[in-house]
Structure 1
Amino acid sequence: MTTTTTPATATTPATPEVPTDLYVRVQHFYAHQMQHLDHGRFEEYAATFTEDGEFQHSPGVEPARTRPGIVRELVEFHKRFDGDPVRRRHWFDHIALERQEDGSVRSTVYALVVTVRPGGRPEIAPSCVVHDVLVDGPDGIRLKSRRITHDQHF
Structure 2
Amino acid sequence: MALATPPQERLRAEIEQFYARHMQLLDSGDAEGWARTFTEDGTFALPGRPGPSRGRAELAEGARRAFAGHTAAGETHRHWHGMLDISARDDGTVHVRCYALVVLTPRGGDPRLHRSCVCEDVLVTVGSEWQVRTRCVTRDGA
Q: Give the TM-score of the pair, scaled to structure 2.
A: 0.88
Task: Indicate the structure (1 or 2) with the bigger Cα radius of gyration.
Answer: 1
Tell me, in whole angstroms, the C-alpha distance in 2 between the residues paired with 1:36 and 1:125.
19
Q: Which residue of 2 aligns with 1:105?
A: 94
Residues 70, 76 of structure 2: 8 Å contact kept: no
Match of 2:122, SS?
strand
* 106 and 18 in structure 1: CA distance in 2 versus 1, 3 angstrom threshold: farther
Q: Which residue of 1 aligns with 2:84?
A: 95
Residues 18, 99 of structure 1: 8 Å contact kept: no
Tell me, in whole angstroms, the C-alpha distance in 1 between the residues paired with 2:126 and 2:30.
23
Q: Which runs of at least 4 in structure 1 moved beyond 4 Å after TM superposition?
A: none
Uncovered stretches (5+) of structure 1, i.e. residues with no partner? 1-16
Uncovered stretches (5+) of structure 2, i.e. residues with no partner? 1-5
CA RMSD of aligned residues (A): 1.7
Deviations 1:64-114 (A, max 9, x none): 111111112222334433522111100111000112232101000111100
Residues 38, 88 of structure 1: 8 Å contact kept: yes
User: What displacement does 1:136 show?
Assistant: 2.0
Q: Which residue of 1 aligns with 2:117?
A: 128
Match of 1:74, SS?
helix
Match of 1:128, SS?
strand
Tell me, in whole angstroms, the C-alpha distance in 1 between the residues paired with 2:26 and 2:120.
17
**Residues 23-102 of structure 1 correspond to what in structure 2 (within 5 A)?**
23-56=12-45, 58-61=46-49, 62-102=51-91
Match of 1:69, SS?
helix
Higher helix share: 2
Deviations 1:8-51 (A, max 9, x none): xxxxxxxxx96110110000000011000001101000000111
Range moving further from structure 2, 114-123 or 125-134: 114-123
Tell me, in whole angstroms, the C-alpha distance in 2 between the residues paired with 1:83 and 1:142.
30
How many residue pairs match? The answer is 136
Higher strand share: 2
Range moving further from structure 2, 75-84 or 85-94: 75-84
1:20 corresponds to 2:9: yes
Q: Give the TM-score of the pair, scaled to structure 1.
A: 0.82
Q: Which residue of 1 aligns with 2:3?
A: none
